[in-house]
Amino acid sequence: MGNLPKISEAELEVMRLLWEYGEPMTVTMIRTEMAKRFDWEATTVKTLLGRLHKKGAVERTQPEGQKVYSYRAIVSRDAYGQESAGRLIGKIFGGSAKKLVAALIQSDKLTKEDIAELYETWGKDEE
Does residue 53 contact residue 5 with C-beta atoms inside 8 Å?
Answer: no
Predicted confidence (pLDDT) at residue 5 exceeds the cutoff of 80: yes
Task: Please state, rounded to an integer, the average pLDDT across all residues of the chain.
Answer: 88
| Residue 121 sits in the same domain as residue 73 | no
| Residue 9 sits in the same domain as residue 66 | yes
| Residue 54 sits in the same domain as residue 110 | no
The DSSP 8-state label assigned to residue 6 in this structure reads P
1 versus 58: which is more confidently predicted? 58
| Residue 74 sits in the same domain as residue 104 | no
| Residue 20 sits in the same domain as residue 71 | yes
- Note the pLDDT tens digit of each residue in 70-88: 999 999 999 998 888 888 8
- Note the pLDDT tens digit of each residue in 9-22: 999 999 999 999 99
Q: Which domain holds residue 121?
A: 96-127
Give residue 76's pLDDT.
94
Say what the pTM is: 0.78
